[in-house]
């Protein structure tokens, strides 16, 4: 099993040197978030990750969760690790001080979430879902709901879930059948079945707070008639204490491809007591608070998977001896050279490294945008921030999980036959990561959201704030000769993206299927280009540090060389996606349904 090491140096590079988190935090009023404080928190998170969470990753996969008469038991060590997580104050980090939180920035918490996910994806999901539940209640809940549910959720002694999917409907939530009937006391009775509920039942916390979508009788059909409810596993007293068991039960847990140590549950509501969040029939609007937070979290999972797989593959490639280098013996004292000398192994390792580090920069940038949305008093700044988040969230979620999954495949490949053997842990990373491509809307759903609803729906207006930022960076570095190999491709691919968008819009007026046919390739093109921008920014920081003679020169030189690999060997993939977009929908749609045969 690979020994996970928290990538502290690179996290600090991204937060402190690339994104200047100190200035960012001070500007937003996070006065306690000094560099010393950030360093201390990340350091402690690294210790907790490596000493507590990582060691139970493999046993969690082997044992999985067990279901018995409606109760779920997590694998050995999970309950004790979660108790240490709570005692360490980790759930409170970025939560409101009004409800017992520490009031630190969301972006700091995001960096720590990557460590937890990279070390143990299954474990990280238990507290991870609580963040979305908290964000939803805090933004849309009543004072009663906030005071009743948030303190224990913030503390971590209660956990949260998101209950959307039903047996007959997944993405098309308008088809839901779960109903909510008004009680005399103003609460509701919910009846229905939800499936694929992550962390829906477990033995880690004293209560589980379900955030549930349902339809009130008489509401409109489809998504316009969806309302949102808080439904606790145990009813809660006026003082916020656990009372009697609510009519909520776990019917079973799924037997899955991966994340076996996280319980994925069938949850039955049999007249369960719940509380309406927000307005009647406005549930989907409220739910997007949870879903958007979750999508950034899932993007982080993609980065974490790429990093973990890279670490395992790198250690093996340095140790495994196979064949001699084509350019001459590199290990004269051994029977063969380490496989890291071979170009194809380096291709896979550098793919993993460039995706992990570029993705980390993108996620950290988005997390800082969330900080601005929470704390800025500048309405114009917040509006631009919201546009950037709306544009980049589906790109980050879908692109980083797709390439993150690719990186786990490379990890297996570097190990050769040993990568297919469970004891090495590399195949677990791939199994655990595939779900991230499906969570919170599949890649296809994210792509439609990006292209149809946001870009074409806004007539391209949503592209302008982030596009202006990228353009400003390119213009500022136009005279820097050392930056040209990175600036020119961004300008070329960026110009082509604009033309591609216009052509899709024109085609779609004649045939709406052109949008669906182009959407995934369009998103992947956008993802490769977006990562190129962040790699170029990292190069500029590294060049400046080297010129000033500051810091670890080897680290900065490696940044520039990794960026060069990305621009020369990864970014060109975007051209293939552009060609697919250009070829349109005809070849996808001309085969009749009856001709799909075997």
Residue 143 included in any domain = no
Binned at pLDDT 50, 70 and 90, residue 597 comes out as: confident
Question: Mean per-residue pLDDT for 371-385?
Answer: 93
472 and 558 belong to one structural domain: yes
pLDDT reported for residue 435: 97
Which of residues 387, 414, 447 is at a domain's end? Answer: 447
Per the CB < 8 A criterion, the answer to whether 261 and 198 are in contact is no
- Whether 498 is in a domain gets the answer yes
For residue 285, is pLDDT > 80?
yes
Report if residue 159 sits inside a domain. no
253 part of a folded domain: no
**Residue where one domain finishes, among candidates 405, 420, 447:** 447
CA distance 308 to 426: 9
Read off the pLDDT band of 239 (50, 70, 90). confident
Please check the confidence at residue 75 and state whether its pLDDT lies above 80.
yes
- Cβ distance 344 to 569 under 8 Å? no
Identify the band that residue 324 occupies on the pLDDT scale cut at 50, 70 and 90.
Answer: very high
| 532 plus 557 within the same structural domain | yes
| Average pLDDT of the residues in 485-500 | 97
- On the 0-12 / 13-18 / 19+ scale of CB atoms within 10 A, 327 is exposed
Whole-number Å distance between alpha carbons of 436 and 521: 19
- Give 288's pLDDT tier (boundaries 50, 70, 90): confident
Q: What local confidence, expressed as pLDDT, does residue 362 receive?
A: 98
Whether 440 is a known active-site residue: answer yes
Average pLDDT over residues 385-409: 97
Q: What is the pLDDT of residue 581?
A: 98
**Residue 413 shares a structural domain with residue 503:** no
325, 395: one domain: yes
Domain with 442 in it: 287-447
Instruction: Answer whether residue 237 is part of any domain.
Output: no
Q: Is the pLDDT of residue 336 over 80?
A: yes
Task: Specify if 261 maps to a domain.
Answer: no
pLDDT band at 355, cuts 50/70/90? very high
* H helix or E strand, kind and range, residue 432: helix 426-434
Is residue 428 domain-shared with residue 376, that is, in the same domain? yes
Whether 560 and 437 map to the same domain: the answer is no
Question: Cα–Cα distance between 326 and 145 in angstroms, integer?
Answer: 67
Catalytic residue among 301, 406, 440, 514: 440
Cβ atoms of residues 266 and 250 within 8 Å: yes
Same domain, 295 and 440: yes
| SS3 (DSSP) at 86 | helix
Q: Which two tokens stand for residue 598?
A: 């075997």
Q: What pLDDT was estimated at residue 2?
A: 76
In the prediction, which pLDDT does 294 show?
A: 83
Euclidean distance between CA atoms 6 and 9, whole angstroms: 9
Over residues 440-460, the pLDDT tens digits come to 899 999 999 999 999 999 999
Task: State the pTM of this model.
Answer: 0.97
Let me know if residue 549 belongs to a domain: yes
Long-range contacts (CB closer than 8 Å, 24 or more residues apart) made by 30-37: 30/103, 30/104, 30/105, 30/371, 30/375, 32/102, 32/103, 32/104, 33/104, 33/105, 33/108
What integer pLDDT is reported at residue 168 of this predicted model?
Answer: 87
Whether residues 424 and 471 share a domain: the answer is no
pLDDT of residue 173: 74
Q: What mean pLDDT, rounded, does the chain reach?
A: 96
Domain's final residue, options 421, 447, 473: 447
CATH number at residue 292: 1.20.140.10
Whether 582 is in a domain gets the answer yes
Same domain, 412 and 476: no
Cα 467-469-474 angle, rounded to 5 deg: 95
Confidence band for 264, pLDDT divided at 50, 70 and 90: very high
Do 442 and 297 share a structural domain? yes
Say if residue 469 is in the same domain as residue 440: no
Share of the chain above pLDDT 70, in %: 100
Q: Which of 230, 254, 179 is nearest to 438 (CA)?
A: 254
Note whether 507 and 442 are same-domain residues.
no
pLDDT tens digits for range 132-185: 899 999 999 999 999 999 999 999 999 999 999 999 887 777 789 999 999 999
The count of C-alpha atoms lying within 13 angstroms of the C-alpha of 412, restricted to the half-sphere facing its C-beta, is 16
Over the stretch 175-224, which tens digit does the pLDDT of each residue have? 899 999 999 999 999 999 999 999 999 999 999 999 999 999 999 998 89
Give residue 94's pLDDT.
Answer: 95
Task: Judge whether 313 and 415 are in contact, CB under 8 Å.
Answer: yes
Q: What is the mean pLDDT of residues 38-49?
A: 98
Count of domains for the chain: 2
pLDDT at 240: 85
């Amino acid at each position: 099993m690979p020994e996970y090491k928290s990538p502290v140096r690179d996290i600090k590079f991204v937060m402190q040197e690339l994104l200047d988190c100190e200035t960012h935090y001070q500007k937003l009023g996070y006065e306690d978030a000094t560099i010393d404080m950030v360093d201390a928190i990340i350091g402690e998170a690294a210790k907790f990750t490596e000493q507590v969470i990582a060691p139970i990753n493999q046993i969690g996969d082997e044992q999985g969760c067990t279901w018995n008469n409606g109760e779920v038991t997590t694998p050995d060590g999970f309950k004790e690790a979660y108790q240490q997580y709570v005692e360490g104050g980790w759930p409170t980090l970025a939560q409101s001080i009004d409800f017992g939180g520490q009031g630190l920035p969301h972006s700091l918490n995001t960096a720590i979430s990557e460590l937890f996910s990279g070390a143990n994806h299954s474990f990280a999901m238990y507290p991870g879902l609580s963040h979305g539940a908290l964000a939803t209640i805090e933004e849309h809940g009543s004072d009663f709901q906030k005071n009743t549910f948030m303190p224990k959720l913030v503390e971590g002694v209660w956990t949260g879930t998101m209950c959307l999917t039903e047996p007959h409907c997944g993405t098309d939530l308008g088809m839901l059948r779960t109903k909510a009937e008004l009680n005399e006391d103003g609460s509701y009775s919910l009846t229905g079945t939800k499936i694929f509920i992550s962390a829906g039942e477990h033995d880690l916390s004293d209560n589980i707070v379900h955030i549930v979508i349902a339809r009130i009788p008489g509401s409109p059909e489809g998504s316009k008639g969806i309302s949102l409810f808080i439904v606790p596993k145990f009813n809660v007293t006026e003082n916020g204490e656990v009372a009697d068991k609510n009519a909520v039960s776990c019917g079973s847990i799924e037997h899955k491809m991966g994340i076996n140590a996280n319980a994925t549950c069938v949850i039955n509501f049999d007249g369960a007591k719940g509380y309406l969040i927000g307005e009647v029939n406005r549930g989907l609007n409220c739910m997007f608070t949870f879903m958007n937070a979750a999508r950034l979290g899932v993007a982080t999972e993609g980065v974490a998977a790429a990093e973990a797989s890279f670490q395992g593959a790198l250690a093996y490639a340095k140790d495994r001896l196979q064949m001699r280098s084509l350019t001459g013996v590199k290990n004269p004292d051994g029977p063969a050279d380490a496989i890291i000398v071979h170009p194809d192994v380096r291709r896979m390792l550098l793919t993993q490294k460039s995706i992990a580090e570029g993705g980390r920069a993108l996620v950290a940038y988005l997390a800082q945008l969330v900080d601005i949305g929470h704390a800025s008093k500048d309405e114009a700044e917040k509006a631009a921030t919201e546009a950037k988040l709306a544009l980049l969230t589906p790109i980050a979620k879908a692109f980083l999980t797709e390439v993150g999954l690719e990186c786990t495949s490379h990890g297996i490949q570097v190990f050769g036959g040993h990568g297919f053997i469970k004891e090495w842990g590399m195949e677990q990373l791939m199994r655990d990561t595939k779900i991230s491509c499906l969570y919170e809307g599949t890649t296809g759903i994210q792509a439609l959201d990006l292209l149809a609803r946001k870009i074409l729906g806004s007539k391209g207006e949503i592209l302008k704030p982030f596009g202006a930022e990228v353009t400003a960076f390119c213009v500022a570095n136009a005279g820097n000769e050392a930056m040209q190999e990175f600036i020119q491709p961004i300008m070329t691919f960026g110009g082509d993206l604009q033309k591609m968008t216009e052509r899709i819009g024109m085609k779609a007026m004649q045939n709406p299927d052109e949008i669906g046919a182009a959407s995934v390739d369009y998103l992947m093109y956008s993802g490769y280009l977006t990562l190129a921008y962040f790699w170029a920014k990292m190069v500029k920081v590294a060049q400046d540090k080297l010129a000033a003679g500051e810091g670890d020169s080897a680290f900065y030189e490696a940044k520039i060389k990794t960026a060069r690999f990305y621009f020369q060997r990864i970014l060109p993939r975007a051209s293939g996606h552009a060609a697919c977009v250009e070829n349109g929908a005809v070849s996808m749609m001309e085969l009749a349904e009856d001709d799909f045969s075997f």
